[in-house]
Structure formats: structure tokens, C-alpha cells
Amino acid sequence: MKKFIVSFAVILLLVNSNLMAKTSLEWWQFWTDPTIKPIINEMIEEFETNNPDIEINVTDLTWSNGHEKIVIAFSSDTAPDIVELGSDWIAQFASKNKIADITKLSKNELGDYRGWDMATYNDKIYAKPWFLGTRVMFYNKTLLKKAGFDDSFIPYKWDDLKNGAREVTALGKKYYGWGSNTAEKHRLYKKFMPFFWSNKAQLFTDDNKFCVLASTKAIEAIKLYAWLHDSCGYVDNQRGIEDSFLDGKIGFIISGDWLLKRIELEKRKINFGTTLIPGPKLPGKSFLGGEFLAISENSKNKEAAKKFIDFITSAKNQVKFCKANRTATPSSKLASQDEYFTSNPNLLMFNKQINLSVNPPVDPDWVKIEAIIEEAVEEIIFNTDLIAEPLLDAQRKIEKIKGL
């Protein structure tokens, strides 16, 4: 009798545990501040309710050190199932086969999302775009008016920018025409490269055989950038520039959608406008980046992971997230057509700029190349009057890295 009860209990236990067998997914993500964390939790809860056999364990990463944590985990093959990666990190992990190739899993949704290029390495897709990030030109309408420009003035070409910046600077000692970033890692290049790309300069020749960082077009771009810095520049880090701009002291700055969030949350009374990054004669190109969701190569639950990723990146959830975080550019095309975006001229501007932006090459060496470019720009604007030499120097260093 005892034996029967024991074996019955064991069978019951086994049956129950099978019924309760949950797939557990680990997700590492970066959105942790009080305005947005509740949305993340809501989405997770909703997904778990709709999919009772999947359990999501989320780990919060800090923006300052999250990347290290991810690298350490992937290095020792103890990575989470799903990880949020910035666009400039994807190549590092893809090239070492640490994140899964999801080309097949994404086959049917290529047309529904924008940003796939940034996750494509060697013709394979390694991550799904979540949000895109670009930069536009913010300008202070009050200051421009004061400087003698009328209301309809929108600076879309370089000459406009130069004149506008010059006149605003001429207004007085405490006014500056241009917010110029100081040496800040991972930021400076996003301010300089738009000038570079707008002038149709390239990093490499089309056949990728030579680095052409020191081309004539590049030199023109850096000349303008340096002029703005020297003659009209309010030099500070990004925060300082934004603070000053919001205090009404700067005419033009390049910034992202988070500035709109600041203006809204801090109830700033500034009469500002947004416009596309200016080019030599027509609007030019801006920087493009984004946040992506990738699946670890070692994950044992790739299908479930993709299911969760698809849920998070669905149009409905993207709109929900963007509204809470004031993000301007969701990756889902459907989401970007939501009234929230189309009824706001500033958000529209960001989405327009997406079509006119360039992303850095998807290359595992990009972070090193980026550092070299930033050092060259810093050298030019802070240390010397030379322009071609630092660029040539950087060009040589980049060629060395790429083995050209």
C-alpha cells in the first residue's frame, strides 16, 4: 500500500511539474528610470499573462557600465537569452557569433520596420530594431529674431547656419551662435559626422580598399565645424550646452529627442524650432543609431525569445513606450504613423530626418575607428591650427586597423 502511495505521489509530481514547466527567459535591458520602468514591467506582465508558459526575468543595466556587464557575460558564455544592444555594439557580438542569426525568423517583417541595416553583418540579420535615434538641429527663434532674421527663416544650408550663428554671436557677450561639444567619448563624432556626411564625404572608398578620411570634402566639413567652434562656439559638454540653450543663450545646437523631453518636463519657456541638419546647399545627412534586441547564440529558447521580442517591438507597445519616454523615432513603421507622432511638428522632423541619416558602418572595429576620428577632431579644434595633418594621421591609423 505504502509503495503504491509513494509511486502515485511521484507520478503526480512529475505530471504536475510537466504541466507547470515554464520556459524562463532572461532579458537584460537599460530602461530603468521611474518614468519608463513601469511601462517595461507592464509589457512583461501582459506578455506573461498571454503566454503562461513563458516567464520573463528582467535585469536592469546601467547606461554607464551596462556594456561591460554584457561583454563579461558573453565572454564567459553566460549571456542572457535576450539582450538590448546599441547599434554600435552589434558588430562586435555578431562577428564573434555570440548573438544569433535571426534572418530566417525575421523574414516576414522586413518591410514593417526600419533600421535593419544597422543589424546586418555579412548579409545576415543579428538583431531586431527597437528604437532609432537621430539628431536634428534645434534653433532659438527668439535669438534669431533679435539678430534680424524674420519668422520664416529656416536654416537649411551651410551659409544660413554660418550667418545665423555669426549674427547671434554678435548680439552680445553672453550669446553664442553655436553649441560646440567638448571632447566627449561617443558623442563628439555624432556632432561632427553629420557635417562630414552632408558634404558627401566618405570614410572608405566604395571598394573599401582605402580610407579617405582626409578627402577634400572631409576637410571642407571640418573647416566649417572648426569655424563654428572658434567663432561662435559655446564649448561645454552635452549637458552644459543643452542647459545653456534652454536658458536662451545659444542660437543653434545639434541634439536628440531627449531634449524635447527636457523641455516638456522642465516646463521651459523657449521659442525654439527644429529643422533638418543643414548641408552645403540643401538639407544634409544626420547621424543614425538605435537600440536593438538580440538573442544570444547560446540561448536554448530562441523561438520563445523571438516571440517576446516581437511583442515588445509591436506597433502598439512601441507607441506606448515612446509616449512615456518621449522617444521620437520608433522602429515600427506602423507605430511611426500614430497620431502621437504625426501631430507634433518636432517629432515629425525627427522622423523625417531618419530618412536623411547615415549610420556608422556595421563593423566590429567601428568603436576603435570612432575613437580615432574623435581624437582627430579634438586635435583640430582644441590643440592646433592644422586641419589636414590630424586627419591624415587618423586616416593612416584607421587603415592600419583595417589592414589596408
What residues make contact with another protein under the rule CB under 8 A? Answer: 28, 30, 32-34, 37-38, 57, 59-60, 62-65, 67-69, 71-72, 74-76, 78, 92-93, 96, 98, 182-185, 235-240, 243, 246-247, 256, 258, 261-262, 265-267, 367-368, 371, 378
What is the residue type of 129? P
Residues in contact with 378: Cβ distance below 8 Å, sequence separation at least 6, in sequence order? 183, 188
Least gap, CB of 126 to another protein (angstroms): 14
Strand extents, DSSP E, 69-165: 82-86, 120-121, 124-125, 128-134, 136-140
Least gap, CB of 235 to another protein (angstroms): 4
Element (H, E) at 307: helix 302-312
The values of phi and psi at residue 346, to 5°, are -70, -45
Q: Which is nearer to another protein, 124 or 187 (CB)?
A: 187
Least gap, CB of 369 to another protein (angstroms): 10
Q: Which is nearer to another protein, 66 or 251 (CB)?
A: 66
Q: Which is nearer to another protein, 30 or 252 (CB)?
A: 30
Longest dimension (CA), the chain: 99
What is the residue type of 72? I
What is the residue type of 143? L
Least gap, CB of 121 to another protein (angstroms): 14
Q: Tell me how far apart the alpha carbons of residues 136 and 277 are, in angstroms, rounded to a whole number.
A: 6
Neighbours of 93 (CB within 10 A): 24
C-alpha grid cell, residue 32: 530603468
Residue with cell 547606461: 63
Q: Which is nearer to another protein, 154 or 322 (CB)?
A: 322
Q: Tell me how far apart the alpha carbons of residues 350 and 132 are, in angstroms, rounded to a whole number.
A: 10
Least gap, CB of 176 to another protein (angstroms): 11
From residue 278, give the alpha-carbon distance in Å to each of 10, 133, 187. 72, 18, 19
| SS3 of residue 321 by DSSP | helix
Number of DSSP helices (H) and strands (E) in the chain, helices first? 17, 13
Least gap, CB of 28 to another protein (angstroms): 8
Q: Which is nearer to another protein, 302 or 368 (CB)?
A: 368
In this structure, are residues 380 and 183 in contact, taking their beta carbons and an 8 Å threshold?
no
Q: Tell me how far apart the alpha carbons of residues 30 and 33 are, in angstroms, rounded to a whole number.
A: 9
Q: Which is nearer to another protein, 154 or 394 (CB)?
A: 394
Least gap, CB of 272 to another protein (angstroms): 15
Q: Which is nearer to another protein, 92 or 215 (CB)?
A: 92
Q: Tell me how far apart the alpha carbons of residues 404 and 400 are, in angstroms, rounded to a whole number.
A: 6
Q: Which is nearer to another protein, 367 or 388 (CB)?
A: 367
In this structure, are residues 276 and 137 in contact, taking their beta carbons and an 8 Å threshold?
yes
Q: Which is nearer to another protein, 155 or 330 (CB)?
A: 330
Q: Tell me how far apart the alpha carbons of residues 114 and 62 are, in angstroms, rounded to a whole number.
A: 26
For β-strands 286-295 and 250-255, DSSP reports them as unpaired
Least gap, CB of 158 to another protein (angstroms): 25
Least gap, CB of 54 to another protein (angstroms): 19
Q: Which is nearer to another protein, 201 or 373 (CB)?
A: 373
Q: Tell me how far apart the alpha carbons of residues 177 and 228 are, in angstroms, rounded to a whole number.
A: 8
Least gap, CB of 217 to another protein (angstroms): 27
